[in-house]
Amino acid sequence: MIYLQITKNLSGFSIWGTTNDLMSLRELMGKLLEEGSFFKHQRLIDELYSIPYEIRKSYEGHRHIEKHLDFQDNEYCLYGSECILILFIVLVSMMRSSMSFNNNDKYELSIMYALEFQLEKELKKYFPRDCDEIIELLPVIASLNQDILFEKLPSRNYFFLTLKTVQEKEKFLLPVLKSFLPYYKNPKLDFSIDEYPRDFEW
């Protein structure tokens, strides 16, 4: 099973699982990203591919490794890596919508449902005030013009990742996600820097 944990400073998600869990998740992400019936913008696809890349690096043993014992005291390993919170939310929302355009088997659907369950659980835990509205917003974001999504992703991530406190991130996640919508305006949001930050705290 895949496990998601929002990082200490709310900047991202840690994705944990066994080798098989993570390989299955990466394969599903790759399949959906490469299916041209939904994902049309190649540079957006390349940007979103940073997440399955990190997942592959984790199960290859290049990120985090935790050793555990099962109920029979047999040792097993969980592998983990981090990914940027807003980028991950956008990817999951688009994955879910893209499945309507593909023939997916029950195993692939079970992976998607588990991923959505973990995402919603973490959002409810760390963003309880706005969680329901965030979840309702996801299919709307997925339906947006992909040129617009690609153009806006760097500045939205920069603004969110450079917020100084956890409290600010709790406050601004929903407005930042809403800012992908063409009609949304909020004078408190500054998207003048159109790049990903080089340094931030997970």
pLDDT value at residue 155 = 97
Does residue 196 fall inside a structural domain? no
DSSP class per residue in 144-168: S-HHHHHHHHHHHHHHHHT-SSHHH
Does residue 102 fall inside a structural domain? yes
What is the SS3 assignment for 112?
helix
Q: Work out how many domains the chain is built from and give that number.
A: 1
Q: Please state, in angstroms and rounded to a whole number, the distance separating the CA atoms of residues 119 and 113.
A: 10
Does residue 199 fall inside a structural domain? no
Note the Cα 113 to chain centre separation in Å.
Answer: 14
Does residue 147 fall inside a structural domain? yes
Does residue 53 fall inside a structural domain? yes
pLDDT value at residue 74 = 86
pLDDT value at residue 127 = 98
Helix axes 131-142, 166-178, angle to 10 degrees: 40
Does residue 202 fall inside a structural domain? no
pLDDT value at residue 32 = 94
Does residue 189 fall inside a structural domain? no
pLDDT value at residue 90 = 98
Q: Which domain holds residue 134?
A: 3-178
Q: What is the pLDDT along the chain (202 residues), one digit of tens a residue?
A: 899 999 999 999 999 999 999 999 999 999 999 987 899 999 999 999 999 999 999 999 999 999 888 888 888 899 999 999 999 999 999 999 999 888 889 999 999 999 999 999 999 999 999 999 999 999 999 999 999 999 999 999 999 999 999 999 999 999 999 999 999 999 999 999 999 998 899 9
DSSP code for 100 = G
Does residue 186 fall inside a structural domain? no
pLDDT value at residue 46 = 95
pLDDT value at residue 68 = 86
pLDDT value at residue 175 = 98
